[in-house]
Amino acid sequence: MLLDKHFGCVRFVYNYFLNERKEQYQKNKKSDNYYTQAKTLTDLKKKEETIWLKEVNSQALQFVLRSLDTAYLNFFRGNAKFPRFKSKKKKNSFTVPQHTNLIDGKVYVPKFKEGIKCIVHREVKGEVGKMTFFKTPTDRYFVSILTEEQYQPKKKTGAVCGADLGLKDFLITSDGNKFKSNRYTKRYEKELAKAQKHLSRKQKGSNSFEKQRRKVAKVHEKIFNTRQDVLHKVSHQLVSDYDIICLEDLNVKGMMSNRKLSKYIADASWSTFVRFLEYKADWNDKKVVKINRFYPSSKICHVCGWINQDLNLSMREWTCKNGHCLDRDLNASINILNEGLKIIGAELSDYTSGELSKTSFGKHGSTKPEAHLSLANG
Ligand SMILES: [Zn+2]
């Protein structure tokens, strides 16, 4: 199948040129850049033993060379780990940067004259651009389509909030809005733990191991999708309702939980959530303020400032030395808001009943080019 041929060739090119760079570096302490490697790629296509590279979209091959180049640059700038070889067992993908189209439920890219039939999950608006094809470890095929369109930013509401990751709910705002966690996630987590336990008992490389590995991957996929869904909904809602959103830059509560798996997932989803919120805020000219992770938002009484050193995770409600009764999560989110407002230089006195005077708002930075792009998963 031509799609699989693309996944294979792109992986081959990536691994071939990563290996080339590694070997060159070991020998000469330097390695070829993108342009030199692109020339080598052209030569490879002429060679008998690698002539099959001609059968796939040439731009997809060049694109993966560029990705390798970027991965190298990111590594040398200290922004990423050293690039690793691509494995067939992980998610396979390739990107077609140009000459793409979507007509009547069919995706058209060079080398696929008949088009590729697909189910469109979300309406594709605007001009169709770069397309990325995926194959999941469960052998499902996806394409995500980048489109360009004029974006209409959301209206200013004049409202600000602090947001805290709740222990019971996913998130609670300083004005008392609660967002529930996805109710399926818990069930899937149990399913995952069970499936992984089964996998650990299988002999590596055996047929039943392979079968169980796919089962595990399927549960991972389900958890990932339901989580992404919640994170998108909540971040969308916050950006619609508030102009300034303050939050902690790290999920400290998730880190305190001692179950390894749930800790891992909670951490991952919090940082993804912050990422979603930040780019959505950026699109809509709204502001996200991050609070220092060591700020004791849960322990401070937001009314009088008294610090409760004995607060532990099981205490949902507590009373401070001066008799203020506090809901744990709500109190934390109010403290986060106050701290956030301090950070952006807004005096607390300017803040009255959820409104912020225009002067203390501060100017928002210019919108990035991505602000005009929207992703549609096909
Ligand atoms: Zn108090």
The fraction of the chain above a pLDDT of 90, given in percent, is 52
Question: Across residues 303-320, what is the average pLDDT?
Answer: 90
Kind and range of the H or E element at 339?
A: helix 328-343
**Strands of 116-117's sheet, edge to edge?**
101-103, 106-108, 116-117
310 counts as catalytic: no
How do residues 329-371 score in pLDDT, each as one tens digit? Answer: 899 999 999 999 998 885 444 544 444 443 333 333 333 333 3
Mean per-residue pLDDT over the chain, rounded: 83
pLDDT at 372 over 50: no
339 counts as catalytic: no
pLDDT at 247 over 80: yes
- Cα(72) to ligand 1 centroid in Å equals 53
| Torsional sign, CA 146, 149, 152, 153 | positive
189 counts as catalytic: no
Q: What is the predicted pLDDT for the residue at 259?
A: 53
Q: What is the predicted pLDDT for the residue at 167?
A: 62
Least confident of 116-130, 161-175, 253-267: 253-267
- Please give the residue that has the higher pLDDT: either 235 or 293: 235
Q: What range does the domain containing 329 cover? A: 160-177+224-344
- 285 domain-assigned: yes
- Cα(331) to ligand 1 centroid in Å equals 10
- 189 domain-assigned: no
In a shared domain, residues 113 and 164: no
In a shared domain, residues 43 and 87: yes
CA torsion, ordered 57, 63, 69, 74, to nearest 10 deg: -140
Q: What is the predicted pLDDT for the residue at 211?
A: 92
Q: What residues contact residue 80 under an 8 Å CB cut-off, 6+ apart?
A: 71, 74
Compute the distance between CA of residue 23 and CA of residue 29 in angstroms, rounded to an integer: 9
How do the residues of the chain divide into helix, strand and coil, expressed in percent and rounded to 5?
45, 20, 35
- 49 domain-assigned: yes
- Cα(326) to ligand 1 centroid in Å equals 8
Question: Across residues 90-97, what is the average pLDDT?
Answer: 90
Active-site residue identified among 164, 243, 282, 339: 164
In a shared domain, residues 87 and 168: no
Residue among 11, 18, 124, 129 at smallest CA distance from 61: 11
- Please give the residue that has the higher pLDDT: either 293 or 63: 63
Q: What is the predicted pLDDT for the residue at 58?
A: 93
Can you give the pTM of this predicted structure? 0.59
In a shared domain, residues 51 and 129: yes
Question: Across residues 231-255, what is the average pLDDT?
Answer: 84
Q: How many CB atoms lie within 10 A of CB 161?
A: 25
- Band (pLDDT 50/70/90 cuts) for residue 269 is confident
Question: Across residues 299-305, what is the average pLDDT?
Answer: 95
Compute the distance between CA of residue 25 and CA of residue 21 in angstroms, rounded to an integer: 6
How do residues 69-87 score in pLDDT, each as one tens digit? Answer: 999 888 888 888 899 999 8
Length of the chain: 378
Give the chain's domain count: 2
In a shared domain, residues 320 and 300: yes
Helices (H), 29-113: 34-46, 58-76
In a shared domain, residues 7 and 141: yes
Q: What is the predicted pLDDT for the residue at 267?
A: 57
